[in-house]
C-alpha cells in the first residue's frame, strides 16, 4: 500500500526519501542489485565551460580556439592531450576523486554511455547565453537537453523511482558566465552599447537556469563564481594603452555578476523546497594566488606558462591557434596560469581542495562545502 501511493507521486521529495528508507531497509537480493547504483554512489553531473570541459569539444565542429586536444595540453598528468584546458586535471576531476568516483567522462565521447556515476556536459567557450560563441560551442541549453537524455537512460536502466533517487542525490556542478563577458572583449561586441552593464548581467543570470534540473529531481548544486578574468594574461594584453594592467571594464562586470549570482542562489534556496547549494569564491581565492604566488607555492602569478608575447598572453599555446610559435615554461607547477586564460593543475587542485573541505564562509565556500553536498544530505 505504502509503496503504491509513493509510486503514484514520485515528485514529492519527502515520499521519495521515505521510499528510499524502505528500499534500504529491505534486504531482498533483487532490490539489492537494482538500487545498488543509486544507493552507493552519488552521481556527479558537470556543466559549463573550459574550466570543466574534459573533452566534449573534441567531438564538435569548432575551431582550435575552443579546443585543447593537442600537445602540450595534458603533459603533466595524462601525458597526452585529453581536451582539458590545463597541463593536467581540472577542478571537476579532483572533485570526482574526492567523492570516490571515477574520472567523469565527456558526454560526447564516442561509445561512452554509462551514466550511473554522472557525466560531463561542459564545453569550452560556452556561456549562459546561446549567443555566446554561437556555433562553436555546446551552449548551456543544449547541455541541459543532453541531461534530459541521461534522465531517460537512467529511467530505462533503473526504473523511474530509482532514477529519481539517483537524480535527487546527485551533485550538479556549474562553471558558467565567464564567456558571456569574455566574448564582449575578444570579439569587439557592441552589446554594451545596447544594454547597461547591470542589464546585461541580469540577462546572463536570468539564463543561468537550474530549474530544469530541479524539476527533474536535482537538489544539490555546486557553483564557482567568476574568476577575475580581466587580469588573465590574454585580457591584460587586449588593449595596448592599458600597459599590461587588468582590464577594469571586465573586472566591474565580474563584480556585478558575482553579487547577482549569490543573490540568485539565496533566492532559489528560499523558493525551491529542498534546494541546496555550495558557492565557491573562485574570484577571491584565485586573486590571492595571483597577487601572492609565493604564499601558495608558486613563482609566477601573472604571466602564463604557455603562450607568446607579453605575459604569454597571446593565445597560441600548442601552436595551432594564433601563430605557430609559442613558449612553454619548464615547470607548470610554478605558475598560476597555464595558458592565456586557464590555470595549471596545481592551482586547480588547491581550489578543488578548498571547495571540498573549506571553511563554510562567503570568502571560501558557502553555505556548504562540496563534501556536505555529497555526504551530509
Ligand atoms: C563545420 O563548420 C564549418 C564552418 O561553420 C562549416 O563550413 C562546415 O560545413 C561544418 N562541417 C560539418 C561537418 O558540419
Ligand atoms: C577589435 O578591435 C581592435 C581595435 O579596433 C582591433 O585591433 C582588433 O583586431 C579587433 N578584434 C577583433 C577580434 O575583431
Ligand atoms: C536569456 O537570454 C536571452 C538572450 O539569449 C534574453 O533575450 C532573455 O531575456 C534571457 N532570459 C532571461 C530570463 O533573462
Ligand atoms: C607602462 O609600463 C612601463 C613598464 O612598467 C612603464 O615604464 C611605463 O611608464 C608605463 N606607461 C604608462 C603609460 O603607464
Parse the chain into domains and list their residue ranges: 38-289+345-372
**How many angstroms is it from 198 CA to the middle of ligand 3?**
14
**How many angstroms is it from 271 CA to the middle of ligand 2?**
44
Which atom number of ligand 2 is nearest to the Cα of residue 186?
Answer: 13
37-82 pLDDT per residue, tens: 545 679 999 999 999 999 999 999 999 999 999 999 999 999 999 9
pLDDT at 40: 63
- Kindly indicate the confidence band of residue 191, based on its pLDDT and cuts at 50, 70 and 90: very high
Q: Which CATH architecture has domain 38-289+345-372?
A: 3-Layer(aba) Sandwich (3.40)
**How many angstroms is it from 233 CA to the middle of ligand 1?**
30
How far apart CA 191 and CA 193 sit, in angstroms, is 5
- Kindly indicate the confidence band of residue 4, based on its pLDDT and cuts at 50, 70 and 90: very low
339 among known catalytic residues: yes
pLDDT at 140: 97
- Kindly indicate the confidence band of residue 28, based on its pLDDT and cuts at 50, 70 and 90: very low
Residues with CB under 6 A from ligand 2: 187-188
pLDDT at 166: 95
Please identify which of the residues 20, 117, 147, 342 carries the catalytic annotation. Answer: 342
Mean pLDDT (whole number) for 108-123: 95
Please identify which of the residues 35, 50, 123, 175 carries the catalytic annotation. Answer: 50
Residue 304 pLDDT > 80? yes
Long-range contacts of 185-193 (CB under 8 A, 24+ apart): 185/235, 185/238, 185/247, 185/249, 185/250, 186/234, 186/238
CA distances from residue 361 to 84, 269, 279, 348 in whole angstroms, order as listed: 30, 17, 10, 19
Sign for the pseudo-dihedral over CA of 93, 95, 96, 100: positive
- Kindly indicate the confidence band of residue 36, based on its pLDDT and cuts at 50, 70 and 90: low
Higher-confidence residue of 336 and 209: namely 336
Q: Which ligand gives the minimal distance to the CA of 245? A: 4
Buried b (16+ CB within 10 A) or exposed e, 137-167: bbbbeebbebbeebbebbbeebeebbbbbbb
Percentage of the chain beyond pLDDT 90 is 85
Mean pLDDT of the residues in the chain: 90
- Taking the model in full, what pTM does it have? 0.88
Mean pLDDT (whole number) for 240-263: 96
pLDDT at 261: 98
Amino acid at each position: 500500500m505504502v509503496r503504491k501511493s509513493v509510486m503514484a507521486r514520485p515528485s514529492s521529495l519527502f515520499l521519495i526519501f521515505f521510499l528510499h528508507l524502505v528500499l534500504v531497509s529491505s534486504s531482498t537480493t533483487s532490490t539489492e542489485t537494482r538500487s545498488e547504483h543509486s544507493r552507493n554512489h552519488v552521481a556527479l553531473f558537470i556543466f559549463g565551460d573550459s574550466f570543466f570541459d574534459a573533452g566534449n569539444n573534441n567531438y564538435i565542429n569548432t575551431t582550435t580556439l575552443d579546443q585543447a586536444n593537442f600537445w602540450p595540453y595534458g603533459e603533466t598528468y595524462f601525458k597526452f592531450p585529453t581536451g582539458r584546458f590545463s597541463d593536467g586535471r581540472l577542478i571537476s576531476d579532483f572533485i570526482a576523486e574526492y567523492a570516490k568516483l571515477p574520472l567523469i567522462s565527456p558526454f560526447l565521447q564516442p561509445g561512452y554511455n554509462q551514466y550511473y556515476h554522472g557525466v560531463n556536459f561542459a564545453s569550452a567557450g560556452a556561456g549562459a547565453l546561446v549567443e555566446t560563441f554561437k556555433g562553436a560551442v555546446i551552449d548551456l541549453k543544449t547541455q541541459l537537453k543532453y541531461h534530459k537524455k541521461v534522465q531517460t537512460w537512467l529511467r530505462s536502466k533503473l526504473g523511474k523511482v530509482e532514477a529519481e533517487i539517483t537524480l535527487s542525490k546527485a551533485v550538479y556542478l556549474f562553471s558558467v558566465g565567464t564567456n558571456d563577458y569574455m566574448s564582449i572583449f575578444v570579439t569587439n561586441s557592441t552589446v554594451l552599447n545596447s544594454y547597461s552593464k547591470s542589464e546585461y548581467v541580469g540577462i546572463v543570470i536570468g539564463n543561468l537556469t537550474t530549474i530544469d534540473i530541479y524539476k527533474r529531481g536535482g537538489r544539490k548544486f555546486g557553483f564557482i563564481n567568476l574568476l577575475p578574468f580581466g587580469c588573465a594574461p590574454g585580457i591584460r594584453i587586449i588593449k595596448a594603452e592599458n600597459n599590461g594592467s587588468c582590464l577594469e571594464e571586465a573586472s566591474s562586470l565580474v563584480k556585478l555578476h558575482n553579487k547577482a549570482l549569490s543573490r540568485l542562489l539565496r533566492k532559489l534556496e528560499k523558493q525551491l523546497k529542498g534546494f541546496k547549494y555550495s558557492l565557491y569564491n573562485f574570484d577571491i581565492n584565485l586573486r590571492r594566488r595571483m597577487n601572492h604566488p609565493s604564499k601558495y607555492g608558486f613563482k609566477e602569478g601573472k604571466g602564463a606558462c604557455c603562450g607568446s608575447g607579453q605575459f604569454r598572453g597571446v593565445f597560441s599555446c600548442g601552436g595551432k591557434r594564433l601563430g605557430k610559435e609559442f613558449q612553454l615554461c619548464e615547470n607548470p607547477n610554478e605558475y598560476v596560469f597555464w595558458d592565456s586564460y586557464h590555470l595549471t593543475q596545481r592551482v586547480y587542485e588547491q581550489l578543488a581542495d578548498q571547495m571540498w573541505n573549506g571553511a563554510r564562509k562567503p570568502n571560501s565556500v558557502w553555505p556548504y562545502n562540496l563534501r556536505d553536498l555529497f555526504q551530509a544530505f
